[in-house]
Structure 1
Amino acid sequence: MLAGFISDLHLREAGEALTRILLSYLNGPARDLPRLYILGDLFEAWVGDDDDGALPAQVAEALSRLSAAGTAVHFQHGNRDFLLGADYARRAGMRLLPDPCVVDLGGQAVLLSHGDRYCTDDEPYQAFRRQVRDPAWQQGFLSRPLAERQAFAARARAESAAHQKSQSMELGDVNRDSVEAELALFGVDRLIHGHTHRPDQHNHEVGGRRRERWVLADWRTAGEVLLIGADGRPHRQTLD
């Protein structure tokens, strides 16, 4: 096995079923992986590394043990946990990755992204994304009291849910032209991303070459990891 990929867990509470599934995976089967990639939205919301709740502590401890056991853990920010910083990454034994980035898996260059950058048809969301990814905005937000940040996150989740209900299926998915432009830019034949909650495998014809795009599953009722074996082929494994 070369690597495992997960995203869109949207963990909310320390004792919930999906949290228990993740902790069981990190303390067991994940230790057989040389590398684990978390491509964003590990948490439903992240308001700063100073959050002293039980959930961040439990997950950091399990990830740190996994890293200490020899699995390299990599994290890419999602649209819910884009404020996860270097302090929490250090506690969890994770390496922070830019979005997008290219990694080498058994000699093949693979492009990784959370995926929301490709939803370019949703212009209001892209405007919001640019705002909250701005370092000055983030610095200002993180300087506020923790309780105020938590209240802001609760309002943002409610507004996001309302926005998702109002938008069409097309707006909630990636823009094919945006995906293909980035495949061409990076010169890769495989892209792995999450965000859309629409697990699938798509083929793209770019520059006369067949490229493939693997969309990770969200953890709605069960967990799922995309595994890439020594032969370079991906396959999905359900965790329950």
Structure 2
Amino acid sequence: MHLSGRTLFISDLHLDESRPEMAAAFEGFLSKEARSADALYILGDLFEFWAGDDSLALPFQARMADALRDTAARIPTAFMHGNRDFLVNGPFSRETGVRMLDDPSQVDLYGTRAVLLHGDTLCTDDTEYQAFRAKVRDREWQRATLSRPLAERVALAKSYREGSEAAKRGKSMEIMDVAPAAVEKAFADSGCDLMIHGHTHRPARHVHRVGGRECIRWVLSDWYDRGSYLEATPSGLRAVTL
């Protein structure tokens, strides 16, 4: 396998058949920018919603799975759950060849250890969202939900999405952003000096002082207006817009 010295990170694509231009941008990214990378990490919210792995039978989801399968056959590709696609599971992984990634996870980036997260666990001031997250990540809740017919689950997922958007309109941006104490704890728990996450849709490079050391936090961009990825090389990291 060719190693290019490039590892790529994306998140918050929110792919949906109602946004065909972003689906096409994702397919283009996989066939071009990601083609010769060492690895690709998808840090959650790849899909606008995911109603269960039997969604792979639906045309749009099957098309995205085909694109991922082709990429995963060429380079190691990993997926982490987001707050929209938390029902992605083993069948999706087996069908696409994409490895499931725990949240948080650590990875070696050319000699630098990095902690990877979706990012929602850092938003601890949003207690309403954290309660919702705990509910939908519960195994019994997921088992009961997945026992429903697919069409019913799709409708339920869409209602959750609409409820989420309505709830966000009533919250301040500060509440929905990461809590500094949660970020510092994540750095301390991991022992890493580098963190990469998405979720907040506030792409930036942040510098933190944790335990007397300088730590860097990269926030990935969403794909609502155009595609973007974070590229790690032996020389460092940079955000790239498609």
Q: TM-score range by the shorter chain?
A: over 0.9
- Take 2:6 and 2:112, find their aligned partners in 1: how far apart are those partners? 11
How big is the shift at 1:14? 7.5
Deviates more, 1:2-11 or 1:13-22: 13-22
Counterpart contact for 1:2–1:106, Cα < 8 Å: no
1:216 aligns with 220
Counterpart contact for 1:13–1:19, Cα < 8 Å: yes
2:60 aligns with 55
AA partner of residue 62 (structure 1):
A
Counterpart contact for 1:59–1:92, Cα < 8 Å: no
**1:47-81 Cα shifts (integer Å, max 9, x gaps):** 00001222211111111111212x10000000000
How big is the shift at 1:108? 1.3
Structural mapping, 1:183-198, within 5 Å: 183-198=187-202
**1:125-155 Cα shifts (integer Å, max 9, x gaps):** 0001001101111111101111111111111
Equivalent of residue 103 in structure 1, options 96, 100, 107: 107
- Take 1:100 and 1:55, find their aligned partners in 2: how far apart are those partners? 29
| Corresponding residue pairs, total | 237
- Take 2:54 and 2:13, find their aligned partners in 1: how far apart are those partners? 21
Structure 1 consecutive aligned stretches of length 4 or more whose deviation exceeds 6 Å = none
- Take 1:117 and 1:29, find their aligned partners in 2: how far apart are those partners? 29
AA partner of residue 133 (structure 1):
R
Structural mapping, 1:18-167, within 5 Å: 18-51=22-55, 52-69=57-74, 71-167=75-171
RMSD of equivalent CA atoms: 1.0
Deviates more, 1:217-226 or 1:146-155: 146-155
Unaligned runs of 5+ in 1: none
Please tell me whether residue 205 in structure 1 is matched to residue 209 in structure 2.
Answer: yes
| TM-score in terms of structure 2 length | 0.96
| TM-score in terms of structure 1 length | 0.96
- Take 1:64 and 1:14, find their aligned partners in 2: how far apart are those partners? 22
2:217 match: secondary structure: strand
- Take 2:226 and 2:240, find their aligned partners in 1: how far apart are those partners? 11
- Take 1:15 and 1:224, find their aligned partners in 2: how far apart are those partners? 16
1:236 aligns with 239
Counterpart contact for 2:14–2:45, Cα < 8 Å: yes
AA partner of residue 211 (structure 1):
C
**1:155-176 Cα shifts (integer Å, max 9, x gaps):** 1111101111110010110001
- Take 1:106 and 1:14, find their aligned partners in 2: how far apart are those partners? 38
AA partner of residue 159 (structure 2):
R
Percent identity, aligned pairs only, is: 47
- Take 2:34 and 2:185, find their aligned partners in 1: how far apart are those partners? 33
AA partner of residue 37 (structure 2):
L
AA partner of residue 66 (structure 1):
T
How big is the shift at 1:90? 1.4
1:188 match: secondary structure: coil
Counterpart contact for 1:63–1:94, Cα < 8 Å: yes
1:16 aligns with 20
AA partner of residue 238 (structure 1):
T
- Take 2:240 and 2:148, find their aligned partners in 1: how far apart are those partners? 41
Counterpart contact for 1:2–1:105, Cα < 8 Å: no
